[in-house]
Amino acid sequence: MNLSLFRCPVCSAPLAREAGSYLCPRGHRYDIAREGYVHLLPPNRKHSKAPGDDKDMVAARARFLSQGYYAPLLDTLEQAALRYADESPVLLDSGCGEGYYTAGVAAALRAGGGGVRAAGADLSKFALRRAARRDRDSEFAVASAYRLPVADGRVNLLLNCFSPMAQEEFRRVLSPGGVLLYVVPGPRHLWELKEILYNSPYPNPDETVLYGGFTHLEIYPLEFPLRLPCREDVEALFHMTPYTWKTPREGADRLRALSELAVRAQFRIHIFRRDP
């Protein structure tokens, strides 16, 4: 049996991975889905029957990312990870989705040499089906960012792209000196899309929030143009964002009339170090 990066969500004991399941010393067993992920979210912590992003949103994001539109963001994250990782990286991607960034960053670390352990956690089983198929060398689990099934101080590099900033939980699972790469949208991220969807769009907040227990090291600003040449990719971008739930009908109708779209992506990558 191989010792997992995950721990038992019931008793917090270490988990070992064997053929077809994860097992803790107290006998709690968790079956591994055929795609390769494990469900570590106890029923009493679920807020719905199928928490997280639904199948359609996951499919839209998978289509969009597979076209390479956000490759510059992935490249930047890989460079940051290589810069800040220690000799034996232990990577956790909280809110990993389909594993696009997890797999890319883990592959860059593995190519850099040294032993690398990597895992991703997300609420959506639909996303994790894709993540586990994408990266067979990493572990993936259905879990909440606010109750990560990971031991204290087990991780030294934590990735969080567009997901909740679970400050206390991130500090718990990071080792002292461990690094958090936190990606948020810039103030005018996808502004041209928002102009189509809304009559009076407003920019995202552009601020550096200081979190207790962390030292803010730097910000990587990143901006690049996107040209979506077909209606399918325009629709994929729309449906992978929260705008798909918040857009008035007339805005959605304007978007459906488009056969292509030029838009700019804008991100802020905040780098934090966990204090001793």
Is 159:77 a contact under the CB 8 Å cutoff?
yes
The predicted model scores a pTM of: 0.94
Same-domain status, 5 and 54 = no
Same-domain status, 2 and 70 = no
CATH of the domain at 170: 3.40.50.150
Q: How far apart are CA 222 and CA 71, in angstroms?
A: 12
Same-domain status, 84 and 194 = yes
Same-domain status, 108 and 216 = yes
Predicted confidence pLDDT, tens digits, the chain (276 residues): 589 999 999 999 999 998 899 999 999 999 999 999 999 998 766 666 666 799 999 999 999 999 999 999 999 999 999 999 998 999 999 999 999 999 999 999 999 877 899 999 999 999 999 999 999 999 999 999 999 999 999 999 999 999 999 999 999 999 999 999 999 999 999 999 999 999 999 999 888 889 999 999 999 999 999 999 999 999 999 999 999 988 999 999 999 999 999 999 999 999 999 999
Q: What is the DSSP letter of 168?
A: H
For the chain, what is the domain count? 2
Q: Ramachandran region of residue 153, left (φ > 0), alpha (ψ -120 to 50) or beta?
A: left
Same-domain status, 18 and 59 = no
Same-domain status, 149 and 237 = yes
Same-domain status, 119 and 100 = yes
Residue 21 belongs to domain spanning? 1-32
Same-domain status, 8 and 46 = no
For 20, phi then psi, to 5°, come to 85, 0
